[in-house]
Amino acid sequence: MSRPRFVLSDQQMDDIIGTLLRVGVALAALVVLVGGILYLHRYGNTFPDYRVFHGEPSDLRSVAGILRDMPAFRSRGIIQCGLLLLIATPLVRVAFAVVAFALQRDRTYVTVTLIVLSLLLYSLLAANH
């Protein structure tokens, strides 16, 4: 006995991908906005010293550090988290496409999309080293 196949039409796939992109960008913008408001609330009255360069804090150089800053309501960590969400949005879109093409049993598109996903992940992870 064969199981019924779950197939998404092209229109359904386009609608889901569009929703994924809109929600991802809106969520990222909201997180950056909250972080920006917190940053201005805490540091809005300070004057920067441009004579001395201060790099970004070490906790903002890794995903783990950024995620540790979120529950502590550190404004720069929240802003960085919003930027990570913005970067993750197209990755989620491509990952969804892999699943959708797999459900459609379209091996060619699954292969091509997996190559694209692996290149995106490699470029993202290789940039950290």
- Per residue in 65-93, pLDDT (tens digit) is 888 888 888 888 999 999 999 999 999 99
Integer CA distances (angstroms), 100 to 16, 113, 120, in order: 10, 10, 18
pLDDT-derived band at 61, boundaries 50, 70, 90: confident
Q: Which residues contact 31 (CB under 8 A, 6 or more apart)?
A: 78, 79, 81, 82, 85
- Write down the pTM of the prediction: 0.79
30 or 68, which is more confident? 30
